[in-house]
Structure 1
Amino acid sequence: MREGWVQTLFILVGVSLGVAVTVFETSVLKGVQANFLRRVLTSQAHIVLLPPDEVARPLRAEAGVTEDAALQRPNQRLRSIDQWQTIRGTVAAMPGIRVVASVAAGAALAVRGDATAAISIIGAEPEEYFGIVRVPEYIVAGRLRLASDDILIGTDLATLLGVTVGDRLLVTARTDTPRSLTITAIFDLGSKGANLRTTFVAFRTGQSLLDLAGGVTSLEIAVNDAFAAEAIAQDIAARTGVRADSWIRTNAQFFTAVQAQDTSNIVISAAVALSVAFGVASVLVVSVVQRGREIGILRAMGARRGQVLLVFLIQGGVLGIVGAALGSLMGAGLLLVWHDRVRQTDGTELFPFTLDPLLIGGTMVFAALVGVLAGMAPAMQAARLDPALAIRG
């Protein structure tokens, strides 16, 4: 390896670049996925309990006879979950449940002078609900206060209505009487639609505006293990009889995209590993051809085939593991530069800087294994050389 240092250098550079690409791509992908997953899990409940859908039932013309008529799906009215206090107590006592929040949510109209906007009001108990949806983390103006006459609005709604913290809005929902609410904070959820439509009021205020005296439109739940939400939701539905939608079901497209990204990453990593293996193998094949005489002399002096085989296997393994170590350093450096330079539009980081030690260790072991396997064919070729023929050239 020292004598053929040019060949050794080239193959080390090839292995290092391949490992650097793998480490960088995998780390960026996992960081972006983790950041997106954090945003998803802090902007919605893990499980939402809803009242069952209203369905149309066929009329009976007479005893034992059902009319054969086309049934049209009825409009879904805003209504409360039946016996929601009992259901909430049952769910809160289940293992794996972290928080259960009662919510009264529905459509409303906000008026400020001549400006109007259709909004969605969410009436919630701050202590429980903000433990599920991290609204306090997204407040950009004002302070978190949600008394009976307070309201939190998004940045785009504030721009549309021309209001700021301390101004008052007239909000009308199912009751005919508008209610004047004071804006105590403005938030930015990172989505124009959410910032334009979503507002938060106190739980009792939401019940009053939506004409839901003593009722709730949903129970929102956070669990300890977010990825077990679908199994817990099915268990809740079986126990209580209400409809339970988990974030896994409602974000099916997200999981499809994650699986597609993981598949692409595996394919790219496999292609890089294959190219590295061919590079190592080609260098070792050339080394066997160039050192045919030396191999023949070693065999004539009594070196066994296994010893000759081991020489080239060790060479492949050393090339793989040294190249992997250099590539890991290159990948980590590139990841650090990319993390510092590439930012979101609001200046926050695009993804958290995470360098998994298991990824580095696994990549080095894999690269060493690829080097050994790549050296297998040249090593067997060297071990099979006839000493007399090799010496004669």
Structure 2
Amino acid sequence: LAADNLARSPGRTGLVIASLAAGVALLIQTAGLTVSSKAAVLDWVDRTMSADLFVFANSALGGVGESRPMDEARGDDFRSLPEVAEAAGVRFQLIQYRTAMIYLLAADTDRLYQAEANRPQRPGRDLYPRLRQPGAAIASDNFCSLHHVALGDTIRLRGPDGTIELTPIGQVPYYAWNQGALIIDREQFKQAFRDNQVDRFDIYLKPGSDREAARGAILRRWGAEHGLVVLTREEMHEQVDAVISRLYGMFYAQNVVIGLVAALGVVMALLISVLQRRRELGLLRAVGASRGQIVLSVLVEAALMGTIGAGIGLLVGVPIEWYVLKVIMLEETGFAFPVVIPWREALLVGSVAILTATLAGLGPAIHAMRLRIADAIAYE
């Protein structure tokens, strides 16, 4: 009965199913975008930030405009601690390249290269010894993609003393800035920009050292005076994860609104169906159908609408995810994220869509159950 009623009224039910499908498709697209980008970014974070501790001033996440620069002499202070094997400084700066603002990252590449000899391979680490050559730089993948720069090309930046020429000697993934990034040695940065400050120190501990003891020592000796924040590798991972989750949480909230509108559409469509079928429902009751069977037929109709809408949404959501990742995001940011189908999220979204549609049918089902046989038959 439920399937027959859907087939007889495609105009009434088609729009509701389309609304459900749109909501499911957008949720699948958002979930896929979240899973695909989060997996790539967090893997990059784990490979790039392999130090034991990270020290910032005035910021839990060091970055342009967030942390207060520190004097490079703090590195000598940190290296004086018995637990510390190395402290490498990193400086961030936004700088204009053509019409875009790019990310310039200057690091103590010699210190990083030596300290990470027995750690997970940092992208581009094998190129670090060559960064001491004048003008050498490592470009991010999205920098080369967005600005059409190839290895060996000349990149001209504006410095305090005139034009600075850099030549990319390699490419690495870098997800901290959507307009692209360049990595250079900090000694070269100090000479070109007359800037010896540091935004972050990567602290590498000696084997067997107590990480919490080292963090406590840094905070006790210099924390209050310089407003230092010290994070572990796991805390950095959690910070980045939280930022990504907050970003996509806004999209999820918008999609939930679409889902609520679709659920309201299910209620209205089924209510109209019950009102239009009063005589039919009355006849069914007259020939022996129970109230429970009438309620069940309406709920099954709602569940069918949810199932069809969820199925269409799943089929449409994955191509939308591919288009967003491989066309829109690639053109806008240059980030080439792999397409990961969010199977777990898809199952959850599909189940919630069917359940929501079924629950939305409760009101019309109860209304149908309350119809009196005599009134329903005499309605027309």
| Runs of 5+ unmatched residues, structure 2 | 1-5, 57-69, 92-104, 140-152, 157-163, 189-195, 224-229
TM-score, normalized by length of structure 1? 0.61
How far does the alpha carbon of each residue in 1:90-139 deviate from its partner, in whole angstroms, 9 at most, with x for none? xxxxxxxxxxx7345589xxxxxxxxxx96533336475264572427xx
Q: Secondary structure at the match of 1:2?
A: helix
Matched, 1:290 2:276: yes
How far does the alpha carbon of each residue in 1:52-75 deviate from its partner, in whole angstroms, 9 at most, with x for none? xxxxxxxxxxxxxxxxxxxxxx97
Q: CA deviation at 1:14?
A: 1.9
Query: Do 1:296 and 1:388's aligned partners in 2 also have CA atoms closer than 8 Å?
Result: yes
> Percent identity among equivalent residues?
19
**Which whole-Å CA distance do the structure 1 matches of 2:212 and 2:307 have between them?**
48
Aligned to 2:143: none
Aligned to 2:372: 386
**Which whole-Å CA distance do the structure 2 matches of 1:319 and 1:309 have between them?**
16
User: CA separation of 1:136/1:301 partners in 2, compared to 1, >3 Å: closer, same or farther?
Assistant: same
Aligned to 1:154: 137
**Which whole-Å CA distance do the structure 1 matches of 2:358 and 2:347 have between them?**
17
User: CA separation of 1:295/1:339 partners in 2, compared to 1, >3 Å: closer, same or farther?
Assistant: same
Aligned to 2:227: none
The 5 Å alignment of 1:197-236 reads: 197-199=184-186, 219-220=203-204, 234=212
User: Which residue identity lines up with residue 27 of structure 1 in the other structure?
Assistant: G
Higher helix share: 2
User: CA separation of 1:163/1:298 partners in 2, compared to 1, >3 Å: closer, same or farther?
Assistant: closer
User: CA separation of 1:129/1:302 partners in 2, compared to 1, >3 Å: closer, same or farther?
Assistant: same
User: CA separation of 1:374/1:233 partners in 2, compared to 1, >3 Å: closer, same or farther?
Assistant: farther
Query: Do 2:86 and 2:204's aligned partners in 1 also have CA atoms closer than 8 Å?
Result: yes
Aligned to 2:23: 18
Larger Rg, first or second structure (1 or 2) = 1
**Which whole-Å CA distance do the structure 2 matches of 1:257 and 1:380 have between them?**
45
**Which whole-Å CA distance do the structure 1 matches of 2:106 and 2:343 have between them?**
47
Matched, 1:87 2:74: no
**Which whole-Å CA distance do the structure 2 matches of 1:119 and 1:287 have between them?**
67
User: CA separation of 1:18/1:145 partners in 2, compared to 1, >3 Å: closer, same or farther?
Assistant: closer
Residue in structure 1 matching 2:122, options 122, 134, 137? 134
Residue in structure 2 matching 1:266, options 234, 239, 252? 252
User: Which residue identity lines up with residue 122 of structure 1 in the other structure?
Assistant: T
Q: CA deviation at 1:386?
A: 0.3
Alignment RMSD (CA, Å): 4.4
The 5 Å alignment of 1:1-393 reads: 1-45=6-50, 47-48=52-53, 77-78=73-74, 79-81=76-78, 87=83, 102-103=86-87, 105=89, 120-124=107-111, 126=113, 129=116, 131-132=119-120, 134-136=122-124, 144=127, 146=129, 153-155=136-138, 159=155, 162=165, 185=169, 190=174, 195=182, 197-199=184-186, 219-220=203-204, 234=212, 237=215, 244-246=230-232, 257-342=243-328, 344=330, 349-393=335-379
TM-score, normalized by length of structure 2? 0.63
Q: CA deviation at 1:273?
A: 1.5
Q: CA deviation at 1:359?
A: 1.2
**Which whole-Å CA distance do the structure 1 matches of 2:202 and 2:26 have between them?**
47
Q: CA deviation at 1:279?
A: 0.9
- Higher normalized contact order (CA 8 Å, seq sep 6+, divided by chain length): 2
User: Which residue identity lines up with residue 154 of structure 1 in the other structure?
Assistant: A
